[in-house]
Amino acid sequence: MDTGKMKYRDNFKENYAEVNGIRLHYVSVGEGKLILFLHGFPEFWAEWENQLIEFGKDHQATAIDLPGYNLSSKPTELARYSLGNIVEDVNALVRHLGHKRFILVGHDWGGVVAWFFAIRHPDLLDKLIIINSPHPAIFAREMLNNAAQRDASQYMLLFRDPAAEKILSDNNYAVLLQLFSEGENQWKMSDMERERYIEAWSRPGALTGGLNYYRASQVYPPGSAKEENSLREITKLPHDIFAVKVPTLLIWGEQDMVFSKENLTGLNEYVQDLTIVRIPDGSHWVIKQQPERVSSLIREFIENRNKA
């Protein structure tokens, strides 16, 4: 098992699943009902280390490396990174783990995958928890109509560029490390965490794998009338196509420099059973900044719903 230099806590169990022609790496703690965590860019399973410790007390808490990242397979075909394919990879992993229903938690790109999973497979989910990741239809709306969101999303054009790998990896991944540290409310990495992230990014193909989510996406700042029309067509689709019929908690760090607060406007038109908790001093990296707060909100949502 190729774990490189990365160290694991004694009660963390890592493994691999062969699903849909690829190999997914995952780490689990505990037993019981499955609660599955999906990371964003440029992270990997360890984004959720604090939550694995907390929810491993009474669940099978599992965090995966999404396809393209760290120790999971890194397909070379760009089409392999479509959201439909990633959703079915997650679905296959859940079946591999032997669960019929589960709780799904996602942040950033992991949140996008989680939104689409809930839209496509509501019958498989008991709860959905999203952290700083906009609903796909609303994000398309904001990208089309909100100049502030388009400005904040200009980085997506860099990430789609063929030169992105070199730019992001130069000077020992200085640009990626800066993403975590900009602004007074950002996450301050420890030296050990920095080493682990650089190790994950340095694996052959891993940086390209993460960037391919942006390159395969249909939603990004438009640079032409054709691209604007593509976004407009998404916003015209019936709400039912993007409906979420699973009890949903959205945790939103309001100091997010990536996603504007307007992404919360009108969300109840797509999500039938919605709870929104805003964290005024939380950034896009609120999971790492305030792990106890995030875990407490997730647990309260799960336990209250279980009593209902």
**Strands of 89-199, DSSP E:** 102-107, 125-131
Q: Where are the domains of the chain?
A: 13-307
- pLDDT at site 2: 45
| pLDDT greater than 80 at residue 185 | no
Q: In the predicted model, what is the mean pLDDT of the chain? A: 94
Among the listed residues 214, 220, 256, 270, the single catalytic one is 214
| CA nearest neighbour of 131 among 108, 164, 99 | 108
Q: Please give the DSSP secondary-structure letter assigned to residue 23.
A: E
| pLDDT greater than 50 at residue 216 | yes
- pLDDT at site 126: 97
- 284 catalytic residue (yes or no): yes
**Residue 305: pLDDT band with limits 50, 70, 90:** low
Ramachandran bin of 183, using left for φ above 0, alpha for ψ from -120 to 50, beta for the remaining angles: left
High-pLDDT (> 70) share of the chain, %:
95
- pLDDT at site 10: 72
- pLDDT at site 183: 63
132, two tokens? 């700083």
For 271, the 3-state DSSP assignment is strand
Looking at the chain, the number of H-run helices and the number of E-run strands are 12, 8
What is the mean predicted confidence (pLDDT) over 131-160? 96
| pLDDT greater than 50 at residue 112 | yes
What is the mean predicted confidence (pLDDT) over 55-62? 97
| CA nearest neighbour of 301 among 260, 246, 243, 242 | 246
- pLDDT at site 6: 55
Q: Which fold has domain 13-307?
A: Rossmann fold (3.40.50)
The residue type found at 98 is G
User: How far apart (Å, rounded) are the C-alpha atoms in residues 246 and 123?
Assistant: 8
What is the mean predicted confidence (pLDDT) over 265-281? 96
Place of tokens 């806590």: 9
Encode pLDDT of 66-88 as tens digits. 999 999 999 999 999 999 999 99
- pLDDT at site 182: 66
Encode pLDDT of 146-157 as tens digits. 999 999 999 999
Q: How many CA atoms lie within 13 A of 285 on its CB side?
A: 19
- 270 catalytic residue (yes or no): no
Encode pLDDT of 218-257 as tens digits. 999 999 999 999 999 999 999 999 999 999 999 999 999 9
Give CA separation, 202 vs 38, 65, 161, in Å.
20, 14, 19
| pLDDT greater than 90 at residue 186 | no
Among the listed residues 108, 197, 213, 270, the single catalytic one is 108
